[in-house]
Structure 1
């Protein structure tokens, strides 16, 4: 069975990965170096590594079912499923372990509708969702840390700590919105009842909001990947998808 989509045709790469063919080839080289193409026991892969990476990206981008996706790459439904399970975790973004002394980070939580009720809960959007704490570098807008997915009914204060994002950031200066009171993060000034904020606090809040909006722009780009609008993956699948998409975002941004 021959497929329609292949990485051998460069025109397919950008629509599904957001990367230039040159950048995609670099990614494949790194994956190969990390052992993604190592010889394994049993049946060999039916697709080369380049096409397997493209298949995973196409699944995250389109959220097609295996029955719909597999024929496009000329493989069986079960083969497509195995490729995603194997390569998805290997495409995951590795959290940054060290930060410059003058680094400024921004954190915010985003909800991903998730069908696996073992890890998701009904959230404010009335859907079963997972809460993902995403940390970006304020200067470069690159994603540096994504916490473990928390149930969607968990508020950002708790998710920030319980997801591991707080520990990953350490003492690095981090900006957040008003949903993180008492966390030690840099949050907007709050007006007390019956009082007005002084002008300097209003100016600070305005500047804070302008900088913090950068993480919202990152969310807007990441949510173009349809898997983050309705994730059917179970267990760690939603976490791997979030990390993989963050890695693609960083690669596309860095060029």
Structure 2
């Protein structure tokens, strides 16, 4: 599942789950998010390098990280903290925090129900 949140930590959107263990970029491409958030400054973790999102800079192999990259990465991390909080609030629901053991055909409905609750709480 892909999660979009505001910089204040409010949930904006949640995509449908992608079956199987998949990389973040695969889930991103399969979701409606690239079109929905086109033209906006998106921020992602290192799993989204090459997507056009703002991401942290990787340490060059066999070298020290430049001082400018450290400051940049801290800035990105501070902005991403709000999204991480939104994800944490979703994981309060055990069904999203642990391995799902029910029929896989029912997981998308369970995930959709749980992720709809924060929107209901906000009155959206």
TM norm. shorter chain > 0.5: yes
TM-score of the superposition, structure 2-length normalised? 0.80
Q: Match for residue 200 of structure 1? A: 68
Give yes or no for the alignment of 1:217 onto 2:85.
Answer: yes
Asked whether the equivalents of residues 175 and 187 of structure 1 are also in contact (C-alpha less than 8 Å), the reply is yes
Structure having greater relative contact order (Cα 8 Å, sep ≥ 6): 2
Unmatched segments (≥5 aa) in structure 2? none
Q: Secondary structure at the match of 2:58?
A: coil
The alignment of Structure 1 onto Structure 2 pairs a total of residues equal to 121
Q: Match for residue 36 of structure 2? A: 168
In the TM superposition, 1:130-209 aligns within 5 A as 132-139=1-8, 141-209=9-77
Q: Match for residue 243 of structure 1? A: 112
TM-score of the superposition, structure 1-length normalised? 0.42
By how many angstroms is 1:202 displaced? 0.6
RMSD: 2.2
1-structure distance, mates of 2:12, 2:56: 23
Structure with max Cα Rg: 1
2-structure distance, mates of 1:196, 1:190: 10
By how many angstroms is 1:253 displaced? 5.5
Asked whether the equivalents of residues 45 and 56 of structure 2 are also in contact (C-alpha less than 8 Å), the reply is yes
Q: Match for residue 106 of structure 1? A: none
Which structure features the higher share of strand residues?
1
Unmatched segments (≥5 aa) in structure 1? 1-131
2-structure distance, mates of 1:239, 1:221: 18
Which structure features the higher share of helix residues?
2
Q: Which runs of 4+ in 1 moved over 6 A?
A: none
1-structure distance, mates of 2:20, 2:45: 18
